[in-house]
Amino acid sequence: MQEDRRLAVLRAIVEDYVATEEPVGSKALVERHGLGVSPATVRNDMAALEDEGLITQPHTSAGRVPTDKGYRLFVDRLTTVRPMSSAERRAISSFLDGAVDLDDVVQRSVRLLSQLTRQVAVVQYPTLTRSTVRHIELVSLTPTRLLAVLILSSGRVEQRIVELDSAIEDQALADLRLLVNRAATGEAIAKAAAALADIVPEGTAPGARHTSAVVDVLVESMVDHRSAERIAVGGAANLARYGDSFDSAVRPLLEALEEHVVLLKLLGEATSGGALTVRIGAEGPYEQFSSTSVVATGYGPRDGAVATLGIVGPTRMDYPGTMSAVRAVARYVSRILEEG
């Protein structure tokens, strides 16, 4: 009972401090949260929480504020991630369902996350290495020129022109289309490239040369020439509302917005299955971000994480609401990629 009550006191301190940014006193806790005990009992509980390093007193005669350890316990004791309201779910769905391509999905997602959480949102573009081949299309443009279209599980589409040294008949093109799809569809990029290379026949007959030309272009399109560290960032203006209280973190974070490698390391590796990663304060990889927290998760079709999205903000954040928003947006983006 005593431990449960102290956890309730810690939860109340976290909620009040996040809402007001003011140190929280025992009298205010009793009045606001109906803890069912006297202010004296709450003061004893606060003293115990302080001894455990879960809260601290920033100034003499002031109330208490949570420490990173306190936030961590608060997050770890959340029994479930708070569900989004039906209105919020409809808003997310209508906003994201209007996307026309992968770039639009990413840009809409980062704007939506920053609006929902009022934090800095970061969305990593899907990388080729984590994708599988959904379909390959070969379209005849002229008798000696084809358009090869590589469609990936991440929603990414790569298009290349294939120049042939001789004309290809419609039936031969249909056979070649079937051949490359049998070899590559459903395979991860590395395996798909190897499987395609294996179907190239020996010899100099037109059929062999056509297959070789198509496979060469497809394999080349599977090499990620664009940076695997490509990301979208939104909501930087949200940092302004923290003012001096967040000054120690605002400056390095603003600088990091230009360093995508840093932001990707802050987000961490993509995790599948809807798992959320919450890094609080000094738990992160960079000392200069010890006043910030990161909430992130992976996204991708069929529980296969192809990239990461999340938010970066102060340790004093609405963790339940932020975790809910990050998970919800990731699920909607994953659904769009799966259906696309």
Q: Give the CATH number for residue 32.
A: 1.10.10.10
Least reliable range by pLDDT among 41-55, 125-139, 239-253: 239-253
| Domain assignment of residue 265, yes or no | yes
Count CB neighbours of 331 within 10 A: 16
Rounded to 5 degrees, φ, ψ at 157 are -125, 125
Domain count, the chain: 3
Is residue 300 packed enough to be buried (19+ CB in 10 Å), middle (13-18) or exposed (0-12)?
Answer: buried
| Domain assignment of residue 18, yes or no | yes
Spacing of C-alpha 301 from chain mean position: 13
For residues 247 and 106, membership in a common domain is answered with yes
Return the CATH number at 301. Answer: 3.30.450.40
For residue 164, the model assigns a pLDDT of 94
Identify the CA nearest to 156 among candidates 202, 195, 106: 106
For residues 195 and 244, membership in a common domain is answered with no
- Beta carbons within 8 Å of 312's beta carbon, 6+ residues apart: 119, 120, 122, 253, 263, 266, 289, 292, 293, 294
For residues 204 and 279, membership in a common domain is answered with no
| Domain assignment of residue 71, yes or no | yes
For residues 38 and 153, membership in a common domain is answered with no
The mean per-residue pLDDT over the stretch 129-148 comes to 90
Last residue of a domain, one of 174, 194, 221: 221
Report d(CA 188, CA 185) in Å as an integer.
9
Last residue of a domain, one of 221, 256, 279: 221
| Domain assignment of residue 93, yes or no | yes
For residues 115 and 237, membership in a common domain is answered with yes
pLDDT in tens, 248-266: 666 677 777 777 778 888 8
| Domain assignment of residue 81, yes or no | no
| Domain assignment of residue 167, yes or no | yes
For residues 232 and 298, membership in a common domain is answered with yes
For residue 107, the model assigns a pLDDT of 92
For residues 114 and 262, membership in a common domain is answered with yes
Return the CATH number at 198. Answer: 3.30.390.10
| Domain assignment of residue 19, yes or no | yes
pLDDT band at 2 (very low <50, low <70, confident <90, very high): confident
| Domain assignment of residue 165, yes or no | yes
pLDDT in tens, 192-231: 999 999 999 888 888 899 999 999 999 988 876 554 568 8
For residues 246 and 305, membership in a common domain is answered with yes
For residue 227, the model assigns a pLDDT of 47
Report d(CA 196, CA 218) in Å as an integer.
8
The answer to whether 270 and 300 are in contact (CB under 8 A) is yes
For residues 233 and 332, membership in a common domain is answered with yes
For residue 161, the model assigns a pLDDT of 95
For residues 69 and 95, membership in a common domain is answered with no
Last residue of a domain, one of 158, 192, 221: 221
For residues 50 and 109, membership in a common domain is answered with no
Report d(CA 74, CA 205) in Å as an integer.
69
- Orientation angle between helical segments 39-51 and 2-20, nearest 10 degrees: 90
For the record, the structure tokens of 207 come out as 């059929």
Task: Please give the residue range of the domain that contains residue 55.
Answer: 2-76
For residues 123 and 234, membership in a common domain is answered with yes
